Amino acid sequence: AQSVAQPEDQVNVAEGNPLTVKCTYSVSGNPYLFWYVQYPNRGLQFLLKYITGDNLVKGSYGFEAEFNKSQTSFHLKKPSALVSDSALYFCAVRDMGTMLTFGGGTRLMVKP
Amino acid sequence: KAGVTQTPRYLIKTRGQQVTLSCSPISGHRSVSWYQQTPGQGLQFLFEYFSETQRNKGNFPGRFSGRQFSNSRSEMNVSTLELGDSALYLCASSLGTQGFNEKLFFGSGTQLSVL
């Protein structure tokens, strides 16, 4: 069975500093990996995905994620955090023939 | 282009009642997926419909059911409500099924409270 773990319930970072939101996964085959963001009282919004190819994936709003097969990780990163980046972030994975499985979410708090 | 629309936005029901939630996907999208979001369990997959056919189903009891109409609009029904059904129910649409790894477009959800 596939699974995804986000080990941190909350990440705190100062505005202007780099941020990292961690994600590790487990699948039986090749993983298809996604990041979504949820703002208060809103549905989820797509940020980026990894299917194949370059391990560094660039997405919306200046976010990027690095796929590491040996560590089974897909951490979300941004070089310089904004207060407006404060939200709930979800990592998701699917294996061939299966549905998206989401992690428990990580709340990102960016302080001015 | 209008986004994914879910109605109603809020619902309050009592145990034992049933409820129907509605989702209108983005125009042209043929796939609709439903998720249950709770603070303790996170996002749990309920089911996916594509061209009026249920393509996949999550691990939920038979009290949870859904359907999709010819215009791709979808409804989700929960019968004999339990307190544990209180959650935010999210609908997501995409052009193709999830198997094509397309991004999902989510609605704002229906917040269901069961008293």
Asked if the model's pLDDT at residue A95 lies above 90, the reply is no
Q: What pLDDT score was predicted for residue B41?
A: 81
Q: What pLDDT score was predicted for residue A64?
A: 97
CA-nearest residue to A39 within chain B is B108
Q: One-letter amino acid identity for A60?
A: S
| A44 with B56: Cβ contact below 8 A | no
Six-digit token string for A21: 């939101």
How wide is the angle at C-alpha B26 spanned by C-alphas B24 and B30, nearest 5°? Answer: 85
Q: What pLDDT score was predicted for residue B102?
A: 80
Q: What pLDDT score was predicted for residue A41?
A: 80
Alpha-carbon gap: A17 to the closest alpha carbon of chain B (Å): 28
Instruction: Give chain B's contact residues with A (Cβ, < 8 Å).
Output: 4, 33, 35, 42-43, 45, 48, 56, 58, 90, 92, 98-99, 101, 103-109
Q: What pLDDT score was predicted for residue B82?
A: 97
Instruction: Quote the CA–CA distance of A101 and B67 in Å, as a whole number.
Output: 22
Nearest CB to A104 within list B42, B45, B99: B42
Q: What pLDDT score was predicted for residue B42?
A: 86
CB A106 within 8 A of CB A88: yes
Q: What pLDDT score was predicted for residue A1?
A: 78
Nearest CB to B45 within list A44, A45, A99: A99
| A99 with B56: Cβ contact below 8 A | yes
Q: What pLDDT score was predicted for residue A111?
A: 97
> Which letter does DSSP use for residue A79 in this model?
S
Q: Can you say whether residue B55 is alpha, beta or left, with left for phi > 0 and alpha for psi between -120 and 50 degrees? A: alpha
- For residue B24, the SS3 value is strand
CB A6 within 8 A of CB A92: no
Nearest CB to A46 within list B99, B104, B107: B104
How wide is the angle at C-alpha A104 spanned by C-alphas B10 and A94, nearest 5°? Answer: 105
pLDDT in tens, A29-86: 888 999 999 998 888 999 999 998 889 999 999 999 999 999 999 999 999 999 999 9
Q: Convert B70-87 into a string of H (helix), E (strand) and C (coil).
A: CCCCEEEEECCCCHHHCE
Q: What pLDDT score was predicted for residue A52?
A: 84
Q: What are phi and psi of B50, to 5 degrees?
A: -140, 125
Burial class (CB in 10 A: 0-12, 13-18, 19+), B94: buried
Q: What pLDDT score was predicted for residue B84?
A: 95
Q: Which residues contact B17 (CB under 8 A, 6 or more apart)?
A: B81
pLDDT in tens, A4-33: 999 999 999 999 999 999 999 999 888 899
| B108 with A43: Cβ contact below 8 A | yes
Average pLDDT, consecutive stretches of 10 residues, N- to C-terminus, chain B (115 residues): 92 97 96 92 91 92 97 96 97 84 91 97
> Quick one: CA torsion of B38, A45, A26, A52, rounded to 10 degrees?
170
